[in-house]
């Protein structure tokens, strides 16, 4: 008797996307240093954050958090922590984008309890209950990470293996990569709605952490100023180096 083919989940891609409109969004996104006093409607901001959370991320563990700073007193302190940059001081909204290094445990459990189909596939159950704890667990004082590093070093002599994360520093890089992808979604979403943004790395992280009362296992990836672009909000023309410097066919 012939085997019955396993039914696969299928989600077709839309065929009506206008690439030129998308190109317009990407090309016109600039780091805006000065904004007008026009507010961003709450439904627009929420839509942009929702689009940010559709970003690809490692193992779908969604390591991001978005702190929309609304309280005037906190906003003033955040502007000061951002070294009083125009991009912070004139922004209609200030959003602190944070990466969590430990939320993966809870999110792995939530994946199994909130799976969008009646039955959780066996491979999904195994991954989030067994594989994820093996790969992302570091252990007390990094002890399990050292064991994993030794296992990978030996096994890697014979076949390709994942080389990390093995340490707290590795987990920080791991989390930042996914959160940066979400940040770009947020900036493009704002641009598509007719608003602009400026991702800021120039800030006092100790003060920002204290202001938001962040736990030890979370860190600030960037502070995003957002609003309507002022006429003189872009300080200089865009500069990109020659494509051949960065693109390699091997």
CATH of domain 33-101+179-230: 3.40.109.10
pTM for this prediction: 0.93
* pLDDT at residue 246 is higher than 70: yes
pLDDT for the residue 24:
98
Confidence of residue 4 (pLDDT cuts 50, 70, 90): low
CA atoms within 13 A on the CB side of 80: 9
For residue 59, the 8-state DSSP code is G
CB of 226 within 8 A of CB of 196?
yes
Confidence of residue 163 (pLDDT cuts 50, 70, 90): very high
Give the whole-number percent of the chain exceeding pLDDT 90. 93
pLDDT for the residue 7:
75
Handedness of CA 20, 22, 24, 26 (dihedral sign): negative
Q: What is the mean pLDDT of residues 175-196?
A: 98
Element (H, E) at 223: strand 218-227
pLDDT for the residue 210:
97
**d(Cα 95, Cα 98) in Å, to the nearest integer?**
9
């Amino acid at each position: 008797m012939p085997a019955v083919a396993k039914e696969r989940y299928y989600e077709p891609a839309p065929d009506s996307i206008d690439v030129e409109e998308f190109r317009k969004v990407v090309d016109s996104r600039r780091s805006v240093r000065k904004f007008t006093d026009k507010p961003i409607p709450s439904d627009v901001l929420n839509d942009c954050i929702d689009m940010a959370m559709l970003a690809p991320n490692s193992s779908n563990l969604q390591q991001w958090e978005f702190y929309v700073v609304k309280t005037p007193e906190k906003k003033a302190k955040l502007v000061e922590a951002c070294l009083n940059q125009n991009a912070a001081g004139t922004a209609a909204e200030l959003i602190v984008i944070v990466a969590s290094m430990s939320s993966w445990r809870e999110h792995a459990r939530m994946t199994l309890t909130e799976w969008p189909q009646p039955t959780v596939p066996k491979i999904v159950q195994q991954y989030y209950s067994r594989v994820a704890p093996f790969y992302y667990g570091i252990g007390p004082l990094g002890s399990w990470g050292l064991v994993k590093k030794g296992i990978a070093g030996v096994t890697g002599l014979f076949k390709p293996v994942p080389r990390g994360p093995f340490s707290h520093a590795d987990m920080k890089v791991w989390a930042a990569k996914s959160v940066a992808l979400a940040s770009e979604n947020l900036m493009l979403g704002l641009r598509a709605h007719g608003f602009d943004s400026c991702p800021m790395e120039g800030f006092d992280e100790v003060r920002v952490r204290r202001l938001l009362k962040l736990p030890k296992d979370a860190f600030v990836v960037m502070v995003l100023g957002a609003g309507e672009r002022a006429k003189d909000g872009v300080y200089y023309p865009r500069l990109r180096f020659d494509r051949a410097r960065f693109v390699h066919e091997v």
